[in-house]
Amino acid sequence: MITAGFILFLICLLTVSGWNMGSIFLIMFTRFNTDSTSIGIRTTYIRWSNTFPSVSICLIKNKITKDFSATLKKRVFEDKPLISGYERNIIEYLFATSDGSSIKEEYCKALNSTCGVNIMELRKEFLPESCEHFFKAIYFAGVPLNDCKTIFKYHVLEMGNCFISNNLIDYKNQNHLPLKYSSLDKDRSLKLVLQNGKLYKYQLYIHSPEDMPYFNTVGYAINLRRTVYNFNIEEIHNTEDVINEAVDQRMCKFPSESISTIFKYRSALLQYYGT
């Protein structure tokens, strides 16, 4: 015989079971929506933008030109024959880098510490300080950029005269960097068309926006042939606590760690030689 107490027990049991099943269903439904939102191309991912790496172009020595030789001959030797090796020595000063292995002072024994010339004046005369002098065209994501100066900023660095793009040395934070791409951009390339220089040629550096080219940075040659470089970019967003870990452990840098305050060899070299 079914009593009222047994019926009440069944009702409570079914109620609790129904509540549990409903809770499990809601948890699974919420989990499904959460996972879809985090990876779904129609939700968060569509608004996510990735920072393009910093691209630097530095000027390196190419070959001595007639104009360069004529200028040295007129200013230093007053149209007298040049000392053997003098031009090579001056061009080393012009493109001074951190090794300084080719600078031989014996060529300049009869002259002052800068071999009779003002290196800074020669740089301004023979090396461009604006990208407009050697950039023919720039395309980012297939779109032409009319003014190279909005992207490439001129800096004198350890590697010489450089033009740097998308770097935190010129912008307050990553939100202000000009080169970005999203998941919808199929073309994520930066195309540069450069004018061939005679006295100088170009060295390409690809690095994080927190860094700058330095002596041990891997460089890529830019020549007269069309060249395509492909790079795999990884962007990691860390919490502030990660900065307490050693750099070699976390394998990344924060923006506050980007600009080195070390007195560079290049600066010391130029000051030593009176420029």
Chain mean position to CA 172? 15
* Token code pair at residue 83: 């000392």
Counts for the chain of helices (H) and strands (E), in that order: 7, 10
CA dist 115 and 112 (Å) reads 5
Contact assessment for residue 221 and residue 204, using Cβ atoms and an 8 Å cutoff: yes
CA dist 21 and 24 (Å) reads 5
C-beta neighbour count of 119 within 10 angstroms: 18
Residue linked to tokens 């740097």: 164
Q: pTM of the full predicted structure?
A: 0.66
Chain mean position to CA 53? 5
CA dist 126 and 114 (Å) reads 17
CA 162 vs CA 76, 103, 106, 152: distances in Å: 28, 21, 29, 9
pLDDT per residue as tens, the chain (275 positions): 567 777 777 777 778 777 778 777 776 655 544 443 333 333 333 444 577 888 999 999 888 888 988 888 888 777 677 777 788 878 887 886 544 444 555 656 777 666 778 888 888 899 999 999 989 899 998 899 989 999 999 998 888 889 999 998 898 888 889 988 777 778 888 888 888 878 999 999 988 888 888 777 788 888 777 777 777 766 566 667 777 877 667 666 665 665 544 434 444 444 444 44
CA dist 154 and 164 (Å) reads 7
Return the pLDDT at 159.
83
Q: Helix, strand or coil for residue 63?
A: coil
Return the pLDDT at 270.
44
Return the pLDDT at 150.
92
Q: What is the residue extent of each domain of the chain? A: 47-231+246-272
Return the pLDDT at 165.
93
CA 165 vs CA 17, 32, 57, 133: distances in Å: 63, 41, 9, 16
Return the pLDDT at 225.
76
